[in-house]
Structure 1
Amino acid sequence: MEVGKRQILFQYLPGKVFDHRDGVIARVRSIVGREHKDVTPSLLLQSIREHASSWPADMRTNLPDQHLNDLSQFVFLDPLELEAELFPLVFWCNNDSCAHVRVVNEDTVPRTAKCTRCSVGEAIQMPFVLMHACGRLEAWNPPQCGTCRSRADLALQRRGKLLGSNSRWWCLRCQVAVTPLTPRCSCGWSNPADGISPMMQYELYRAGRTMYPQTVTAVNQPNRSEETTKLLATDGWAAAATSIHLGLDQIRGMSLNEWCRQRRAVDGDGAAATAEISTEELNALMNQLMRGEITPAQMQERVTQARQSASSSQVALSRANLEAAIYNAINLDSPAIASVGREMLESVFLSEATRVGTEQGDSNGTSIERLLAKMGIAEVSVVTDFPVTTAVYGFTRGAPGQKAKLNPFPRDTHYGRIPVYTDVVEADALIVTLNPNMIVQWLESLGYSCTLPGASSPEVSAKGYFLNLFDGVDLRETIGAGAPEARLVFGALHSLSHISIRQAALLSGLDVTSMSEYLLPRSLSYAIFCNHRFGATIGALVSLFDQSLEIWLESIRENRGCVYDPVCTSQGGVCHSCCHLAETSCRFFNLNLARPMLFGGHDRELGNVSRGYLQFSEE
């Protein structure tokens, strides 16, 4: 069965039960795919490891740390088509006076719709399945009667049209009720504190609770996976990315790939190998020699000096030296640098993307620049090659987060490894970066004391503050009152991103469900892009930037209300009408959103927010 890649990634994963186009209920048995060559496996595995590590080890026993640290355990597949099977092989008579349940196999599937027992009702596929938070999903087979020890004469009786607590299994032969309604899961696991019973639950086969895909999204560089792999294999890449983000003098003006090339010219003990001067320098010396401006001996001396200078530069760019510079600037130590490394890497990737338009906030500039400054936005850009990779590596059942066990998909039969299903899109995107100094001033106006590191410039100090702010904060869970600054900053960024998407959809003609966000909270940035191949590069967002940027920004500023106010405002200022996006658009499950973060009002966790970020920035 052939379906679109995005459909596979979110709707047709292995083990998912769905309505087959042939009019039956089916289950995805496997996905046929080829190994994806346009992704960087080590970068994606790092993203997966960070995401999966939010589950305790005993809640992901099928994804232990030794697997998450071993790239050879995984294969990154480009999905092509799916293989499905008839499921469940259980048929239920829709005649309420009969309600007989019959289990068949592939060879004995009924050829007629008539119930073979009563000849009145129709035998339909059982529309319910059994599931458990451990990840198990089974057909709802009839239990064994305690009197006759048979399963052949069981009926599933219900009161009315829906199953409920008063439904029951009934033995038609013995005329007795059979309990329990659902069996105990064979795993034996339960967690009463989170409402997890050892009993399996019945659920409508198409319900979303039967499978929550666990997805990571990474800024990947298609056609540069080899370069990125070399970069990630170079000691100190996290420190280099962090230094570039901060704009430290030691690495100013240098790209990550340039840093990588210089560092790979250094041997393992840190001593510089023979460094080569650049082609440009060598050509300049040759021209001077040919014009008679220098002698051969002078040329040799200058080549030697240039090599020594290059060698000194290589040593200065070592991990130890860069980490020391970062620590001196913003008090970020080596473990903390490693923990923020991937986000800093993606932030640098975004800064190196091809920009076709950029506007910066300036209170003395053009009307758009003044508007950006009033909104506390440092920069908004449009790029045409936003390189985003979506990877689905596992699933949960019953709950989307850590209340259910995390499971990988069954090992691929062809490759023998754990499959990760990936999709790479280079899309048009709008990238928005907030003003770090303005965010700090906003927090201080709300009464929070922001202890900034003593860097050489206010900009570096502010950037360093946000690198430390989210340490130990799980952004995929509700940020509580124990971390108010983190909740305010992430809430403002996340809420602004959602409102930006909703308003961009109205102006660009793209469907709001076809747009996604990508948040980089430590760099106070977010990107919005079209996640569908059809709309990814048709120029809708480029046209919005070129023709309607000021209208878009004004619509964000004015989007203070909700059709459900005052009820919505009294309950935290967040609902499906004003802030929520589809699950394919928001990778943070619509958590930590609130209009009060932007416009002031009552927040569910922090109480009254006297002024929102957009309010403060306009003052």
Structure 2
Amino acid sequence: MRVERGASQILFGLLPGQTVDLEGRIWKVAKWSDPIVVTIDQETVRSVLLQAAFPWTQNDKDDGLAQQLRTRTPIEIVKLNEDRGVLVEPFPKQWRCKTCNRVTQQAPGDRCKCSAIKNWAQMQFVAFHGCGASKEPYIRRCPQHNAVAVRLPGTESARELFFYCPECPKFQQYGFPFQRCECTSDDNKNAQMSINVHRAGQVFSPQFAVVVNPPDPADAARARATGGGAKALEWVLNGMQESNPTAGRQTPAELIAALRQGFPGLSDETLNDMVQRAVDSGEMAASDTPPLDLPQAVLELAQEEALNLSSAVLTGRVRIREMVDAAGPPLRSLYEGRYLDAVAEARLASVDLLTNFPVATLAYGFTRGDSTPGESRLVTFKERGRTRAYASLARTEALLFQLDPVAIHRYLFAARCHLLTPSGDARNARIDILRNVTMPTPVQEDPQQLGRELLTVLHSYAHRTIRKLSTFAGIERDSLAEYLLPHHLSFVVYAVARGDFVLGGLQACFETNLHRVLEEIAEGESRCPLDPGCRSGGGACMACLHLGEPSCRWFNRFLDRSALFGRSGLLSL
């Protein structure tokens, strides 16, 4: 049997171990035939999967994934081989005669004892366990006649199925009998299997992670090995003016970063001495900027985010100033006037169009049972002893928003009374924020106050932007997603790719209606329809700021309208 499906349909609906309806029958996916190995930067994959699997890791139910990632064991990433497709097999192998209701494991087409021919309906129920196992449910048969029939209740409840012998009235039973799993799971001492219809979310719930803007592995390794993170960080601190952030000669800061990457055991004193010797000998020019006085952990995170930003713009970036130079008189007036005014009024440093933004969706495992993250055991995909993730790679359009660092610094310094150093300079404002911030994780319960407030204003701004953009761009809200770069006060709104097709709504909005979007963000209605309840309950709800799970990877946490509006809000200062 050959059935045509798109690559994205297969990723979301035809993963190994998953059941699917095809051509009027039920099948289970055995494997992807000869999938193609995809090279994605393993450091990026490691970071994303550790975050995605955290709810299972903290409950010790992650199938050893976190330990594997921390020891830097590679994850095999594969995509669909469209010439070979997916191999499926009939499942469950149980059929009911629609004439007499007898249940059998015969292949469809065989004659039933009631003389009906080719009148079989496949049973839809599956026995499953949290360990990942699934099989046909055990059905007792009449011990005297070795036969069984079933009367369907008209619902999908397995408990209401009535089994009986079609030959005698002695054998009758409601529901399926107890069925033990063959695993040695600690989750259930009896290892009892549950039974449900094959389409139920409890039977198979795939778990996905989105790797946004994955860099080319060779480029990423080369950048890290040569201290490219330091160069990228300097590029961000200076306002991202250059088109190529990695160009130019290596600086002392970059050499220190490269040496630290290659020789992690060297002390800072030794590293500085080596660099100074290179400068004194004339082999390297002295830096014209003082070294960054940042905690090492923050410096590494800031450099990694800067590398992510640089890889995003290298794939294609359009800036407003470039549109000014290329536009005719009517549009030039629009871009120079209302566009730049709207950017400033919205407390932004810039808005750029990313024309070729890469997004990789990874299916890294599944659960059976409770689909709440961390409740059931996570089962990772494995092939020949190696952990595998199934991927769909796409290029899409995106908008990069950079908040004005001076405005953010003023917001944190004045409105939130944080002890930052007063600054009217963008570079110094960025450095001062980096020096004092500890950014929270998506699930952290007691984060640093400055990190929480900075993330809250950035995240709230991103959600408000998505909700406004969806209207102007003509794109469903759930078809837009966010990518936060909090250390650099930036976020990306990208269109969720559907196959190889990109609608172009964000580009059209950027070229014609950006000023209206920004005006609506800064000056549009800021009240919530559910106020005052929403305001007293945290200032964010489904009616004003919340987004669906595909759009928000931060679980709708760190959101508050008061961070944007009101007497102390960013857009009110």
- TM-score, with structure 1 as normaliser: 0.69
Equivalent-residue separation in structure 2 for 1:115 and 1:582 (angstroms): 49
Deviations 1:363-409 (CA, angstroms, capped at 9, x unpaired)? xx944333333332222111223233333333334325233333321
The alignment yields a C-alpha RMSD, in angstroms, of: 4.9
Residue in 2 that maps onto 1:206: 199
Does residue 439 (structure 1) correspond to residue 394 (structure 2)? The answer is no
Q: 1:188 aligns with which of 185, 189, 198?
A: 185
Residue in 1 that maps onto 2:94: 90
User: Residues 62 and 379 of structure 2 are in contact (CA less than 8 Å); yes or no, is this contact kept in structure 1?
Assistant: yes
Equivalent-residue separation in structure 2 for 1:46 and 1:151 (angstroms): 56
Residue in 2 that maps onto 1:141: 137
Residue in 1 that maps onto 2:491: 526
Equivalent-residue separation in structure 2 for 1:203 and 1:439 (angstroms): 52
User: Residues 38 and 77 of structure 2 are in contact (CA less than 8 Å); yes or no, is this contact kept in structure 1?
Assistant: no
| DSSP-derived class of the 1:220 partner | coil
Deviations 1:244-293 (CA, angstroms, capped at 9, x unpaired)? 44459xxx999346577985998979999xx9xxxxxxxxxxxxxxxxxx
Q: What is the identity, as a one-letter code, of the residue corresponding to 1:31?
A: W
Taking the TM superposition and a 5 Å limit, the aligned residue runs for 1:471-550 are: 471=439, 473-475=440-442, 477=443, 480=445, 486-532=451-497, 539-550=504-515
Does residue 3 (structure 1) correspond to residue 5 (structure 2)? The answer is yes
User: Residues 241 and 348 of structure 1 are in contact (CA less than 8 Å); yes or no, is this contact kept in structure 2?
Assistant: yes
Does residue 465 (structure 1) correspond to residue 433 (structure 2)? The answer is yes
Equivalent-residue separation in structure 2 for 1:359 and 1:559 (angstroms): 30
User: Residues 42 and 71 of structure 1 are in contact (CA less than 8 Å); yes or no, is this contact kept in structure 2?
Assistant: no
Deviations 1:45-67 (CA, angstroms, capped at 9, x unpaired)? 45334544564283223425246
Residue in 2 that maps onto 1:255: 245
Residues 204, 518 of structure 1: alpha-carbon distance in 2 compared, 3 angstrom cutoff: farther
Equivalent-residue separation in structure 2 for 1:563 and 1:94 (angstroms): 53
Deviations 1:276-321 (CA, angstroms, capped at 9, x unpaired)? xxxxxxxxxxxxxxxxxxxxxxxxxxxxx999534356xx79xxxx
| DSSP-derived class of the 1:311 partner | coil
Equivalent-residue separation in structure 2 for 1:565 and 1:214 (angstroms): 34
Q: What is the identity, as a one-letter code, of the residue corresponding to 2:344?
A: A
Q: 1:587 aligns with which of 540, 548, 553?
A: 553
Taking the TM superposition and a 5 Å limit, the aligned residue runs for 1:205-604 are: 205-209=198-202, 210-221=204-215, 225-232=217-224, 234=225, 236=227, 238=229, 241-247=232-238, 255-256=245-246, 263=255, 308-311=281-284, 325-326=291-292, 328=293, 330=294, 332-333=295-296, 335-338=297-300, 341-352=303-314, 354-358=316-320, 366-397=337-368, 398-399=370-371, 401-411=373-383, 417-443=386-412, 448-452=416-420, 459-463=427-431, 465=433, 469-471=437-439, 473-475=440-442, 477=443, 480=445, 486-532=451-497, 539-557=504-522, 558-560=524-526, 578-579=544-545, 581-588=547-554, 590-592=555-557, 594=559, 596-597=561-562
Deviation at 1:203, TM superposition (A): 4.0
Q: What is the identity, as a one-letter code, of the residue corresponding to 1:490?
A: L
Equivalent-residue separation in structure 2 for 1:63 and 1:572 (angstroms): 35
Residues 456, 578 of structure 1: alpha-carbon distance in 2 compared, 3 angstrom cutoff: closer
Does residue 18 (structure 1) correspond to residue 27 (structure 2)? The answer is no
Deviation at 1:346, TM superposition (A): 0.9
Q: What is the identity, as a one-letter code, of the residue corresponding to 1:190?
A: D
Equivalent-residue separation in structure 2 for 1:271 and 1:236 (angstroms): 13
Deviation at 1:593, TM superposition (A): 6.7
Q: 2:148 aligns with which of 142, 146, 153?
A: 153
Residue in 2 that maps onto 1:299: none
User: Residues 160 and 175 of structure 2 are in contact (CA less than 8 Å); yes or no, is this contact kept in structure 1?
Assistant: no
Equivalent-residue separation in structure 2 for 1:336 and 1:149 (angstroms): 74
Deviations 1:456-477 (CA, angstroms, capped at 9, x unpaired)? 9674454553576454x331x3
User: Residues 133 and 399 of structure 1 are in contact (CA less than 8 Å); yes or no, is this contact kept in structure 2?
Assistant: no
Deviations 1:544-571 (CA, angstroms, capped at 9, x unpaired)? 1121111222333425356677776676
Taking the TM superposition and a 5 Å limit, the aligned residue runs for 1:166-181 are: 167=160, 170=163, 172=165, 173-176=170-173
Equivalent-residue separation in structure 2 for 1:527 and 1:7 (angstroms): 25
| DSSP-derived class of the 1:83 partner | strand
Deviation at 1:24, TM superposition (A): 1.5
Deviations 1:427-486 (CA, angstroms, capped at 9, x unpaired)? 33211122344335445666x553447999674454553576454x331x3x65766655
User: Residues 498 and 581 of structure 1 are in contact (CA less than 8 Å); yes or no, is this contact kept in structure 2?
Assistant: yes
Q: What is the identity, as a one-letter code, of the residue corresponding to 1:5?
A: A
User: Residues 6 and 499 of structure 2 are in contact (CA less than 8 Å); yes or no, is this contact kept in structure 1?
Assistant: no
Deviation at 1:130, TM superposition (A): 3.7
Q: What is the identity, as a one-letter code, of the residue corresponding to 2:245?
A: S
Deviation at 1:121, TM superposition (A): 13
Residue in 1 that maps onto 2:571: 617
User: Residues 45 and 71 of structure 1 are in contact (CA less than 8 Å); yes or no, is this contact kept in structure 2?
Assistant: no
Residues 355, 500 of structure 1: alpha-carbon distance in 2 compared, 3 angstrom cutoff: same
User: Residues 246 and 464 of structure 1 are in contact (CA less than 8 Å); yes or no, is this contact kept in structure 2?
Assistant: no
Taking the TM superposition and a 5 Å limit, the aligned residue runs for 1:46-61 are: 46-52=47-53, 55-56=56-57, 58-61=60-63
Greater shift, 554-563 or 260-269, is seen at 260-269
Equivalent-residue separation in structure 2 for 1:215 and 1:492 (angstroms): 25
User: Residues 395 and 497 of structure 2 are in contact (CA less than 8 Å); yes or no, is this contact kept in structure 1?
Assistant: no
Equivalent-residue separation in structure 2 for 1:486 and 1:116 (angstroms): 72
Give unpaired runs (5+ residues) of structure 1.
276-304, 601-609
Residues 184, 401 of structure 1: alpha-carbon distance in 2 compared, 3 angstrom cutoff: same
| DSSP-derived class of the 1:494 partner | helix
Residue in 2 that maps onto 1:28: 29
Residues 70, 489 of structure 1: alpha-carbon distance in 2 compared, 3 angstrom cutoff: closer
User: Residues 401 and 492 of structure 2 are in contact (CA less than 8 Å); yes or no, is this contact kept in structure 1?
Assistant: yes
Give unpaired runs (5+ residues) of structure 2.
323-335
Greater shift, 124-133 or 377-386, is seen at 124-133
Equivalent-residue separation in structure 2 for 1:176 and 1:484 (angstroms): 61
Residues 441, 176 of structure 1: alpha-carbon distance in 2 compared, 3 angstrom cutoff: same
| DSSP-derived class of the 2:320 partner | strand
Greater shift, 26-35 or 44-53, is seen at 44-53
| DSSP-derived class of the 1:505 partner | helix
Equivalent-residue separation in structure 1 for 2:311 and 2:208 (angstroms): 24
Equivalent-residue separation in structure 1 for 2:147 and 2:66 (angstroms): 42
Residue in 2 that maps onto 1:300: none
Deviation at 1:217, TM superposition (A): 1.1
Equivalent-residue separation in structure 2 for 1:240 and 1:150 (angstroms): 80
User: Residues 102 and 148 of structure 2 are in contact (CA less than 8 Å); yes or no, is this contact kept in structure 1?
Assistant: yes
Equivalent-residue separation in structure 2 for 1:242 and 1:538 (angstroms): 33
User: Residues 513 and 584 of structure 1 are in contact (CA less than 8 Å); yes or no, is this contact kept in structure 2?
Assistant: yes
Equivalent-residue separation in structure 1 for 2:556 and 2:518 (angstroms): 24
- TM-score, with structure 2 as normaliser: 0.74
Deviations 1:44-103 (CA, angstroms, capped at 9, x unpaired)? 3453345445642832234252465445552444553322222222335779xx87654x
Deviations 1:11-45 (CA, angstroms, capped at 9, x unpaired)? 3222222222x122222222235545664345434
| DSSP-derived class of the 1:544 partner | helix
Greater shift, 523-532 or 341-350, is seen at 341-350
Residues 167, 344 of structure 1: alpha-carbon distance in 2 compared, 3 angstrom cutoff: farther
| DSSP-derived class of the 1:325 partner | coil
| DSSP-derived class of the 1:587 partner | coil
